[in-house]
C-alpha cells in the first residue's frame, strides 16, 4: 500500500467527493496533519470528526479572497505546508449547436482560475516550510488525461485542464530555483459521482482506491507526470502526438459512434 514518508502538513482542496474524499481518508488514517477544503462545512466537519490532526477549512474556489483567507487559517494552524494537493474540479460538456459561453466560463472558473487562486494562497505556506526546516515542499494538482488529446464535447473541460497542465509545467521550471517541486496528476476515467453522470462509454475506468494508490506512489517519488491507468493514458498520449489529420479522423469517429 502506497504512503507518504513521515508525518506531513498537507492541504487537500476538493476533499469531500470522489478522488479527494478517498485521498482525505487515507491521509488522515496515515496520521498526517491535513487541512481539508471544499465548499460544504458540514461535510468537512464530518470528515475530520475523530481526527485531532485534521482541520476543516471551507472555501469558495471561485472567490479569490475566500481562498486567501483559507490559506491564512491554515498557516496560523500549521505554520507552513509540506504538500498541497489541488484536487477540486468540475465537468460540463459543450453542445456546439447551442454554443454556451456561460458554461465555458463556469468550467474555467473552477478548473483553471480556481487553481490559480489555490497556487497564490499555497506558495507562501510552501516557502515558509522550506525556510523553516530546509525541506523541499511539493505542489500537486489533478488535471486530466483529456489534457493530452482534444475530444468531442470537451472544449471547456479539456481546454481548462490543458491550460492547467501547461501553466503548471511552466511554473515548475520557475520554482525549481526555489526548491519547490510540482507534480501534475492526469487520471483517466475514475468511478466518482462526477463520472457517473457521463453518458458515454468510459474505457478502463478505475476505482478511487486505485487512483489513491497511483497518486500517493507518484507523490512519494515526486513524479512530474502521475498518470493512470497506464494502458489507457499511454494510448491517449500516443493519439495526442499523431498528425492533426489523423487526430481529426479519430475524433470524428468518436463523434459518429456516440451519435449512432
DSSP, residue by residue, 24-86: HHHHHHTT-EEEEE-S-HHHHHHHHTT-TTEEE----TT-HHHHHHHHHHHHHHHSS-SEEEE
Residue 199: all three cell numbers together = 453518458
Q: Please give the pLDDT value at position 168.
A: 98
Asked if the model's pLDDT at residue 259 lies above 60, the reply is no
Known active-site residue 157: yes
Q: Is 24 exposed, middle or buried (CB count within 10 Å of its CB: 0-12, 13-18, 19+)?
A: buried
- Tell me the CATH number for domain 9-259: 3.40.50.720
Beta carbons within 10 angstroms of residue 1's beta carbon = 9
pLDDT at 79 (0 to 100): 96
Compute the mean pLDDT over every residue in the chain, rounded to the nearest whole number: 94
CA distance 128 to 62: 25
pLDDT digits (tens, 9 = 90+) for 50-67: 999 999 999 999 999 999
Rounded Cα–Cα distance for residues 240 and 243 (Å)? 8
> Can you give the pLDDT at residue 218?
98
Q: Exactly one of 93, 148, 157, 234 is catalytic; name it.
A: 157
Where exactly are the structural domains of the chain? 9-259
pLDDT 10s digits, 186-200: 999 999 888 888 888
- 197: its cell numbers: 453522470
CB 228 within 8 A of CB 214: yes
Amino acid at each position: 500500500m502506497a504512503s507518504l514518508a513521515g508525518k506531513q502538513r498537507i492541504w487537500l482542496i476538493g476533499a469531500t467527493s470522489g478522488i479527494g474524499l478517498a485521498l482525505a481518508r487515507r491521509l488522515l488514517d496515515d496520521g498526517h496533519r491535513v487541512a481539508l477544503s471544499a465548499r460544504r462545512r458540514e461535510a468537512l466537519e464530518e470528515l475530520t470528526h475523530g481526527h485531532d490532526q485534521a482541520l476543516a477549512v471551507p472555501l469558495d474556489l471561485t472567490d479569490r479572497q475566500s481562498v486567501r483567507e483559507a490559506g491564512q487559517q491554515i498557516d496560523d494552524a500549521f505554520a507552513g505546508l509540506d504538500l498541497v494537493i489541488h484536487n477540486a474540479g468540475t465537468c460540463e460538456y459543450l453542445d456546439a449547436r447551442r454554443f454556451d459561453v456561460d458554461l465555458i466560463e463556469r468550467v474555467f472558473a473552477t478548473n483553471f482560475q480556481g487553481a490559480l487562486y489555490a497556487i497564490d494562497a499555497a506558495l507562501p505556506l510552501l516557502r515558509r516550510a522550506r525556510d523553516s526546516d530546509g525541506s523541499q515542499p511539493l505542489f500537486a494538482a489533478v488535471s486530466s488525461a483529456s489534457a493530452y488529446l482534444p475530444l468531442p464535447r470537451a472544449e471547456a473541460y479539456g481546454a481548462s485542464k490543458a491550460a492547467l497542465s501547461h501553466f503548471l509545467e511552466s511554473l515548475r521550471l520557475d520554482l525549481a530555483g526555489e526548491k519547490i517541486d510540482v507534480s501534475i496528476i492526469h487520471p483517466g476515467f475514475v468511478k466518482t459521482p462526477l463520472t457517473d453522470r457521463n453518458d458515454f462509454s468510459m474505457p478502463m475506468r478505475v476505482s478511487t482506491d486505485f487512483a489513491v494508490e497511483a497518486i500517493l506512489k507518484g507523490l512519494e517519488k515526486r513524479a512530474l507526470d502521475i498518470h493512470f491507468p497506464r494502458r489507457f493514458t499511454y494510448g491517449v498520449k500516443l493519439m495526442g502526438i499523431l498528425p492533426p489529420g489523423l487526430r481529426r479522423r479519430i475524433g470524428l469517429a468518436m463523434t459518429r459512434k456516440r451519435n449512432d
